[in-house]
A and B are shown apart, each in its own frame.
Chain A
Amino acid sequence: MSGELTPTHSAQGTSASFIEQVKQAQPALAPVAHPWLACFRAEGMERFAKAGLPTTRNEAWKFTNLRGLDKLSLSPAPDARSVPVDAIPTALEAAGPRLVFIGGQFRADLSRTQGLPDGVLLDALSAQMAADPQGLADRMEGLLARFPGADHPMRSLNAAFLADGALLHVPAGVKLEQPVELVFLAPAGVAAAWHPRLVVLVEDGAEATIVEHHAGQPGAAYLSNIAADVAVGTGARLHHYKIQREGTDAFHIATLNTHLADASTYDTFVLNLGARLARHEARQVLGGEKIEARVSGAYAIGGDQVSDITTLIDHAMPNCTSREVVKGVIDGKARGVFQGKIIVRPDAQKTDGYQLNRALLLSETSEINSKPELEIYADDVKCSHGATAGELDEDQMFYLRARGVPRDVARVMLIGAFLDEAMDEIIDEQVRAYFRAAAAAWMGTERA
């Protein structure tokens, strides 16, 4: 299986000067002594220089144009240790473990890693690169081996700039009671690029919840280019939620690979609200039997925003279930992209796959590109998918208003109800409520 989401990329279309700029930015990183990690960076650079940025000529990127990204400054953010931070977003009522990054750089002073069960490792990659580079290299290598052929130019770029990120390792049988929050904030007014890496291992029978926050302010053209490698062991459960509220001049690109073992549960949800261009590309490899994969998301965008949710659910083994509900609200001249591919390989008999994609277009100039793709090679499977795009229902609007509900409140109610169908997929109640409130806040500002 060779990179279904990423057919061969070519450097054509990316200016040589951009690649030159990338190469020049790289030495600004703190050097890394460990040979595997150094090699990982060097190979990343090499692969990116060869591939260049994806262009719309690549099938997987035909709806999402990275034009403008090559105009960004790719230098790392200046030292973020003294950047003042007034509010750190949290989805939780009680203070739990968290790692905070400003401009991609770890801020130990804002983070909390105490009180975790024995054997659980939650730390910044930068800290682990100093403390236990061999341990980190082993984990990363082991993870990468699970995704052969998953080459991707943005992952290569991420690798070339490996400097920081988050490591969460939950040993077998350990259950994390509190969710772990990973908070990535952009420093105000800084045009730079950072490339956080997430390394997540949830071993057999373990359970964890991760909430990623990505946030920034408008006015700075920065790039946050995240790559994540996740493994969920036999019988393990991982709830993996992400809320993206980058500044509206920013690029946010996240490329996730998740490997699921026998009888594991993966419950993931992404909420895209921010960024000028956001691409959340998630590949789930169902590498065992009796897996339950829930891969859902929502977005609410306006202005000139682009939100791209691209997923691959790869059923390699029999008796697994996958469920995907992605819904988006699009206003102004914004554009939503949904590419949802489900592969059912010849061995994956008794697969049960469900996919639903809906878009609500709030303006004449809003747009949705939806591309569901089912590739089924097994004969005894149950797979359904549906995609719709529509406007606010006039009869529903009239009914609400005829009862006295003002037009703008009625709109918010209907948009909220529309998104709720996706939000209901989130298993964790606290996170669900937080994501709902964030979407409601979006509607409030969109109305103003």
Chain B
Amino acid sequence: MSLIEIKNLHASVDGKAILKGVDLTIKAGEVHAIMGPNGAGKSTLSYVLAGREGYEITEGSVTFDGQDLLALEVEERAAAGLFLAFQYPVEIPGVTNATFLKEALNAIRKTRGESPLDAMQFLKLIRAKAKDLSMTDEMIKRAVNVGFSGGEKKRNEALQMAVLQPKLAILDETDSGLDIDALKIVAEGVNKLRGPERGMLVITHYQRLLDYIVPDVVHVLANGRIQKTGGKELALELEAKGYAEFGISDAAA
């Protein structure tokens, strides 16, 4: 069964067309990668799916787990099981990671008809997940992303994903800003989440991440459209040849 079905999606910002007919279907259990040059519209696609304001959907549809995704509020999409790991995670001074994640998890549990976790249960859960990602207790108590290095921010995204257990995780350039050790830890966290009922959309500029999160399908997004789709070997090909074939002279490596 398809987890998400994106059909002929067009989106523009301030009247400027950025997505120009994206078609993409991910089935439960699959990991897809989107590669593409800078400015191709990769982040735009991820924001449109997550429901960020400021994008006008001019054509097309997105069905997520049987629902019209574009009709849902941002938080409803999260509750439905969509998760976006941000390319640039946002700093929120004055709100601790723990408070933030507890609110988020319990809000999602509520819409699923599950009872909220109490402080003790939550702490136990978050500690275990943080440990998997080599994050300290101190990082959990800090304000959301405040004073975090680039790599720590990405790890924090992975932590949130591990706690919220989404059906579809979209990772927008999660590899940027990560050194190789951190990359391995984060990839391991992502791989842990892989399962027959879940899907992943891994957006990356470089092939490197795909050595650790091995995709089933690779797409090339350029100029607002999926230009080519193939197996994991497509990533290696792009690494070698760049995106010139798609009319863009942006070497991938």
Contacts and interface: CB of A to CB of B under 8 A. Distances in A.
Given A396-B90, A403-B100, A409-B103, 17 more contacts: A394-B53, A398-B50, A399-B89, A399-B90, A399-B92, A400-B100, A402-B84, A403-B164, A404-B75, A404-B107, A406-B107, A407-B73, A407-B74, A407-B75, A413-B99, A417-B95, A421-B94
Interface string B74-98: 1101110001101001101111000
A414 interface: yes
A29 interface: no
B108 A404 contact: yes
Nearest to B160: A403
Interface of A: 393-396, 398-407, 409-410, 413-414, 416-418, 420-421
B92 A417 contact: yes
B36 interface: no
Given A399-B86, A409-B103, A409-B107, A414 B92 contact: yes
Contacts of A409: 103, 107
Given A417-B95, A421-B94, A401 B164 contact: no
For A395, A403, A413, the residue with the greatest tally of chain B CB atoms inside 10 Å of its CB is A403
Interface string B46-80: 00001111000000000000000000011101110
A395 B50 CA distance: 13
A406 B78 CA distance: 10
Interface of B: 50-53, 73-75, 77-79, 83-84, 86, 89-90, 92-95, 99-101, 103-105, 107-108, 111, 143-144, 160, 164
A85 B99 CA distance: 37
A416 B101 CA distance: 16
A398 B104 contact: no
A405 B103 contact: yes
B164 A404 contact: yes
A421 B79 CA distance: 31
Contacts of A420: 94
Which 5 residue pairs across A and B have the least CB separation, nearest first? A417-B94, A404-B78, A403-B104, A401-B74, A399-B90
Nearest to B107: A404
A417 B96 CA distance: 9
A403 B95 CA distance: 14
A152 to B, nearest CB: 36
A402 B108 CA distance: 11
A402 B105 CA distance: 12
Contacts of B160: 403
A165 B108 CA distance: 52
A281 to B, nearest CB: 28
A395 B107 CA distance: 20
B93 A413 contact: no
Given A401-B78, A402-B51, A404-B108, A416 B94 contact: yes
B107 A396 contact: no
Contact of B92 (A394, A396, A402, A421): A396
Contact of A395 (B77, B90, B143): B90
A415 to B, nearest CB: 10
B52 to A, nearest CB: 5
A404 B92 contact: no
Contacts of A421: 93-94
B99 to A, nearest CB: 7
Most chain B beta carbons < 10 A, residue from A394, A400, A402, A404: A404
B107 A405 contact: yes
A419 to B, nearest CB: 9
A400 B104 contact: yes
A402 B103 contact: no
A77 to B, nearest CB: 41
Contacts of B90: 393, 395-396, 398-399
A130 B52 CA distance: 68
Nearest to B80: A404
A74 to B, nearest CB: 43
Contacts of B111: 404
B74 A413 contact: no
A413 B50 contact: no
Residue of B77, B92, B108, B160 with highest tally of chain A CB at under 10 A: B92
Contacts of B94: 416-418, 420-421
Interface centre among B74, B77, B83, B143 (most CB of A within 10 A): B74
B193 to A, nearest CB: 16
A386 to B, nearest CB: 15
B95 A414 contact: yes
Contacts of A406: 75, 107
A410 B100 CA distance: 9
- Of A393, A398, A409, most buried by chain B (CB within 10 Å of CB) is A398
B82 to A, nearest CB: 9
B57 to A, nearest CB: 16
B95 A401 contact: no
A358 to B, nearest CB: 12
B103 A413 contact: yes
Contacts of B84: 402
A105 to B, nearest CB: 41
B53 A413 contact: no
A131 B164 CA distance: 67
A420 B146 CA distance: 15
A402 B169 CA distance: 12
A399 B164 CA distance: 14
